[in-house]
Amino acid sequence: MRFATTAAGEQAWNAAALAADPAEPAFRVWTWPRPAIVLGRAQRKLLDEVRERAGTGIEVLARDSGGGAVLAGPWMVGASVVLPVGHRLLGANLIDAYRWLGEAYYAVVQEIGIAARLVRPDELQRGELRIRESQRGQRSADGSRDDLAPREPVAWACYGSLSPWELVDADGRKLVGLAQQRRRNAVLLVSGLLAGAPEWPMLCRALGREADLGQLSAWTTSLEALRGERFDDRFAMEVAEGLDAAIASAIC
């Protein structure tokens, strides 16, 4: 089931689900009707200045997990999943815990006909991941296009870098962000899919990082752009229902 929420509502569910010391998995699939900026734990000190720059009408808060700033809003479909410690889906380490959730998003995106792939841990370790920049138009000595270039991360933004088992399109642009938070008896996995076109200027302006807009935009894409179809309520329901079914199937 899809739950339309605020950033504060999502964070409240996450905290309560972790505190409950669950014996069984629990999850929610989220949509955000209004824009919100969710800062990582280390960015909490920026709350006042980000709120001032963001202005009225944009919710700004900080979460308990690490990572960069997230811009939630009508363009995103996401999920929170709480698993008891020792659950088979958590695997042997922190990185393994992401794999099944990345695969759930992959199944949803494939089902609606969009080509994408998961980021393998070894790609990041070897620094192999590259982005296609067709606007460069440079050619190598043999006449082929030299349009693959390494990227510098936009470290302050969640969608400005990659982690293992996140989802990217065929050109290496990020579609899904993943994060986790661990307690003694439970693990929270949080995630967000860029289904519509995000308002990156809003985020960059609020963080005082307008100069990073082009780089952040180059890091990402959306289902709307890849499918060539406007992201509306029907599209959101299709994605949310697919994600709900994929997660439910995985955790059962």
CATH assignment at residue 237: 3.30.930.10
Domains contained in the chain, number: 1
Q: Which tens digits make up the pLDDT trace of 200-242?
A: 999 999 999 999 999 999 999 999 999 999 999 999 999 999 9
Strands (E), the chain: 2-4, 26-31, 36-39, 59-62, 70-72, 76-84, 116-118, 131-132, 148-149, 167-169, 176-182, 186-194
pLDDT of residue 123: 84
Is residue 146 scored above 50 in pLDDT? no
What is the C-alpha separation between 74 and 4, in angstroms, rounded? 10
Please indicate, yes or no, whether the overall pTM of this predicted structure exceeds 0.75.
yes
| CA atoms of 232 and 74, how far apart (whole Å) | 9
| Of 125-134, 154-163, 232-241, the least confident | 125-134
How far apart, in whole angstroms, are the C-alpha atoms of residue 108 and residue 175? 12
> What pLDDT score does 134 carry?
40
| Residue 110 host element (H or E) | helix 96-111
- The predicted pLDDT at position 1 comes to 67
Q: Backbone phi, then psi, for 97, in 5-degree steps?
A: -60, -25
- pLDDT tens-digit series, residues 98-115: 999 999 999 999 999 999
pLDDT of 129 reads: 60
C-alpha atoms less than 13 angstroms from C-alpha of 161 in its C-beta half-sphere: 15
Percent helix, strand, coil in the chain, to 5, is 40, 25, 40
Which domain does 10 fall in, by range?
2-251
pLDDT, mean over the chain: 90
In three-state secondary structure terms, 114 is coil
